[in-house]
Structure formats: structure tokens, C-alpha cells
Amino acid sequence: MNVNATFIGQVIVFVILLWFFWRFVVPPLAQANTDRQKKIAAGLAAAERGQKDLEEAKSRADAVVREARERANQILDQANRRSGEMIDSAKQTASAEGERLLASARAEAGNETARARDALRREVGALAVTGASRLLGREIDAKAHAQLLDELAEEIARG
Amino acid sequence: MASGHVAEHGTTPTDYIVHHLTHLKVGEGFWTWHIDTLLMSALLAILVGWVFRAAARRATSGVPGRFVGFIELVVEFVDGQVADIYHGDRRFMVALALSLFTWIIAMNTMDLLPIDLPGGVAALFGAEFWRVLPTADLNGTVAMAFVVLLLIVIAAIRAKGVGGYAHEWIAAPFGNHPLLWIPNAVLNLVELLSKPVSLAMRLFGNMYAGELLFMLIALLGFTVVGLTAGSSVAFLGQIVMGSAWAIFHILIVVLQAYIFMVLPIVYIAMAEEHH
């Protein structure tokens, strides 16, 4: 169990093993560890960013929806108002038309009445002439009494 | 298990123990080479290096597999230990701690092999002796401690410069006075040498004692002669005590490796501190 040349061999073996670990084992493992740390940090940052983006998008979507709702309400109001206006104007047009029709009917009726009165008068005139001629027993000379007859007819017509 | 080889190894318990404590060696005097220690430690170094290199090759920033994950667990544990002690660029320190830790665990674990198995296998190859445990060979532990000693000195010189380190040798801890130079230097020498000596002796002592205890437990098998009451007790005793000691020894295997990993880092960190 004394120290002898084996010691030299053991030193060489250990130095080689130490060099091997230093050169070929620890650096790749440390590198992988560092890379993983970076990756995890990046992943966490990305997740946080995604969360923030989502919140932003949500609030933006909310704003858009709110705006759309307002706009829809506006349009609805406008449409309601417009339909009211249209109904009102249609009503006005209809009543004006009705009045106009009524007036024209009235005028027509007036004309008709006047015409009927004219015809009546003329007939009454003729009847009066006929009656008078019968009363007189003789023929009234229409030509001779035309002036008179016309005046009579006119009077009847006026009265 | 021991009884099977008694006939080959010798007839007395003393022969058995001596046989198990003899190295397979070539050479004379100082130039004696322990073939078993050299070959076992080199093979285990290759095994450890190959396993860790395989993991390092496969390590990516993605999700590690079972094997790589386990190796990364070990590396992270060692890295955490080093980070607690050593403040600075610790890439080399992690390599030092990791190679010490894994290699010593691998070598210590050889103690858990059935005590006559390595010798039996070696006998098949014509080797008369085979001590399978490189850390129960003083050469193995002193070699590691010697490298640690060199690293301590190198670290101190790198941190303080040759002049600063030399000044510390003669000026600390008593003070810079010509009369105190020699006491300072003597104390520093003792302080410096006590570190690798204690490292080497602690590991060697633990493993040597553990190995010896396994041998003593195996000696119980010597009294087994047949189906007698005494033989049965001896046989049971060998099994129970052998199992109990092996289970407890797992703790020693890892604990001694851990100590031999942490203390060099402490020593190097101390060497870089300014007084």
C-alpha cells in the first residue's frame, strides 16, 4: 500500500478525465442549459405579449361593437323619423287630393245643376209657349214673338 | 460466496485476507505498477467520460429525454454545489467537481461487487491477484489529491500573482516581520499539505476499511462446514451482515465522493481569496 509508480499513472488518468470533462462534457451541457433558459424566458415573454395583445384586441372589439350599436341605433332613429315624415306627408297629400277631388266634384255638380236648370228653363219656356199658345187658341208665331219669347225664357231661366 | 474460493486462495483466513489485499503488480521498488488499480480506474474513467459525453452530445435546449435528464440532474446538482462555494467563472470548477464526483462514485461502487467476483474473473484471465477498488489504493487517492494540490497553487498564483503568493507565504498569518518569515512559511506549508493529505487519507481510509469489513464478513463463510447449527448461524450471519454493510456502504460510496468533490472547490476558492 505504499505510494509508487502507480501514482504517476493515476495522475495521468485523472488529468485526462478532468480535461475531457472540461473540454467536452461541461460546455455542451451548460450551453444547452443556457439555451433552455433563454427559450423559456422568450416563451414566457411571448405568452405575456400574447395576453396583452388579446386584451388590446378585446377592448378594440368592444369599442367596435359599441360603435356599431350606436350607429345602428342612429340608423333606426333616422328610419323611424323618416317613416313618420313619410306617413305625415302621405297623409297631407291624401287629404289635399281628397279636398281637390271634393272641390272638383262639387264644381261638376254645380255645372250639372246649372245645365239641368238651363235645360229645365228651356223646357219650361217651351212649355210656357205651348201653354200660352193653347190658351190663346192659336198659334203663336214664333218668329213674330221671338223677342218676347226669348225675354220670357230668359226671365224664367234667371228666376 | 466466499467459501467457494477458499481452496484456491489459501486455507487460512489470514491467507484469504492477504490475498485480497495484494495488488497485481509489475516492477520493483518505486517503479511498481499496480495493474489492477490502473486498469480499473482507467476503464471507469472511460465509462464515466463516455456516459457523460453521450449525454452532452444529445443535450439540446428542448425537452431532455430520460437519460439526458438524469445526467443534467447530476450536472445541475454539482453546479449548484460549486455555485454555492465558488464565485467567479466556474466552468473549470464544475468540470473538476463533476469529474471527481462521478469518477469516485464509479470507483467506490466497485466495492459493492461480490468480494470474490473480480478476483475470480481475473483468475480466468490468469491474474493471480485483483483488487478491484482503485480508491482503496493509496496511489489512486493521492494522485487525485496531488492534482488538487497543483490546482490550489495554480489558482492562488493566478489570483495573486507569483509575488503576491510568495508574499503571502512569508507574511501570513503572523505578520510581515523578518523574524516571522520562517514560522509563517512552515505554517503555510503544513496548511497547504494538510489539504491533499487529508483528502487522500479520508477517501482511502473509508474505502479500505469498507473493503476490509466485507472481507471479514466473508470470513464467516469459512466456518460453514455442512448442515450444522453453527454453520447455519455463520451462513445467515454472513448474508445478513453482508447485506446490511453493503446497504450502509452505498451511503459511504456517495458521501465520500461528495466530500472529495466539495472540499477541493472550497480549497481553491480559499486559495483565490486575498488575506
Q: Convert the pLDDT of each residue in A56-112 to its tens digit.
A: 999 999 999 999 999 999 999 999 999 999 999 999 999 999 999 999 999 999 999
Looking at CA atoms only, how far is residue A13 from chain B in angstroms?
Answer: 6
CA distance B36 to B23: 7
More confident of the two residues A132 and A113: A113
Beta carbons within 10 angstroms of residue A16's beta carbon: 15
What's the domain range around B213? 4-271
Do residue B61 and residue A36 have CB atoms under 8 angstroms apart? yes
On whether any CB of chain A is under 8 Å from the CB of B71, the answer is: yes
B183: closest CA of chain A, how far (Å)? 29
Q: For residues B25 and B130, what is the distance between their CA atoms, to the nearest angstrom? A: 9
Q: Does B56 touch chain A if contact means CB atoms closer than 8 Å?
A: yes
Instruction: Kindly compute the dihedral angle of the four CA atoms of residues B92, B154, B157, B269, in this order, to the nearest 10 degrees.
Output: 50
A96–B contact, CB cutoff 8 A: no
Cell of B33: 505498477
Nearest to B17 by CA among B189, B173, B215, B209: B215
Chain A within 8 Å of B91 (Cβ-Cβ)? yes
A16–B96 C-beta distance less than 8 A: no
Instruction: Indicate if the pLDDT at residue B2 is higher than 50.
Output: no
The chain A residue lying nearest B54, using CA atoms, is: A25
Average pLDDT of span B198-219: 93
DSSP codes of every residue in chain B: --GGGHHHH-SSHHHHHHHHT---EESSGGG-EEHHHHHHHHHHHHHHHHHHHHHHHH--SS---HHHHHHHHHHHHHHHHHHHH--S--HHHHHHHHHHHHHHHHHHHGGGS-TTHHHHHHHHTT-S-----GGGSHHHHHHHHHHHHHHHHHHHHHHHHHHHHHHHHHHTTT-S-GGGHHHHHHHHHHHHHHHHHHHHHHHHHHHHHHHHHHHHHHHGGGG--SSSHHHHHHHHHHHHHHHHHHHHHHHHHHHHHHHHHHHHHHHHHHHHS--
- In this predicted model, what pLDDT tens digit does every residue of B213-270 receive, in sequence order? 999 998 888 777 777 888 888 888 889 999 999 999 999 999 999 999 999 999 999 9
The answer to the question of residue A27 being in a domain is: no
Q: Which residue has the cell 480559499?
A: B270
The answer to whether residue A101 is domain-embedded is yes
A39 touches chain B (CB under 8 A): yes
Chain A residues inside the 8 Å CB shell of B48:
17
Strand blocks (E) in chain B: 25-26, 33-34
In angstroms, the CA A87 to CA A79 distance is 12
Are residues A22 and B92, on separate chains, in Cβ contact within 8 Å? yes
Is the CB of B143 less than 8 angstroms away from the CB of A10?
Answer: yes
Single-letter residue type at B113: L
Interface subset of B 149-208, CB within 8 angstroms of A? 208
Residue B3 annotated to the active site: no
Predicted local distance difference test score (pLDDT) of residue B135: 93
Q: How confident is the model at residue A55 (pLDDT cuts 50, 70, 90)?
A: very high
Please determine, for residue B3, whether its predicted confidence score (pLDDT) is greater than 60.
no
Which of A6, A12, A16 to mutate: most B Cβ within 10 Å?
A6
* pLDDT recorded at residue B29: 84
Q: Would you call B206 a catalytic residue per the annotation?
A: yes
Q: Judge whether B198 counts as a catalytic residue.
A: yes
C-alpha cell belonging to residue B258: 461528495
Q: How far apart are CA B80 and CA B97, in angstroms?
A: 11
**Domain count along chain A:** 1
Q: Looking at per-residue confidence, does A55 or B174 come out higher?
A: A55
**Lookup result for grid cell 424566458:** A41
Name A64's Cβ contacts closer than 8 Å, sequence gap at least 6: none
Residue whose C-alpha is closest to residue B202's, from B131, B258, B269, B267: B258
On whether the CB atoms of residues B37 and B122 are closer than 8 A, the answer is no
Phi, psi of B33 (to 5 degrees): -110, 125
DSSP A3: -
What sign results for the dihedral spanned by CA atoms B210, B211, B214, B215?
Answer: negative
**What's the domain range around A145?**
41-158
Is residue A107, in this structure, part of any structural domain at all?
A: yes
Question: What is B12-42 written as a DSSP string?
Answer: SHHHHHHHHT---EESSGGG-EEHHHHHHHH
Report DSSP letters for B146-161, one per residue. HHHHHHHHHHHHHHHH
Of B5 and A25, more confident: A25
Tell me, what's the ipTM? Answer: 0.89
User: In the A/B pair of chains, how many CB contacts fall below 8 A?
Assistant: 131
Query: For residue B227, what pLDDT is reported?
Result: 77
How many structural domains compose chain B?
1
Q: Which residues pair with B26 in a beta bridge?
A: B33
Cβ contacts of B53 on chain A, cutoff 8 Å: 20, 24-25
Instruction: Give me the residue label for grid cell 476499511.
Output: B209
**DSSP letter at B176?**
S
Q: B143 to chain A: which residues are within 8 Å by CB?
A: 7-11, 13-14
Residue A133 confidence class, pLDDT cut points 50, 70, 90: confident
For A24, which residue in chain B has the nearest alpha carbon?
A: B53
CA–centroid distance for A128 within its chain: 73
The Cα of A24 is separated from the nearest Cα of chain B by a number of Å equal to 7
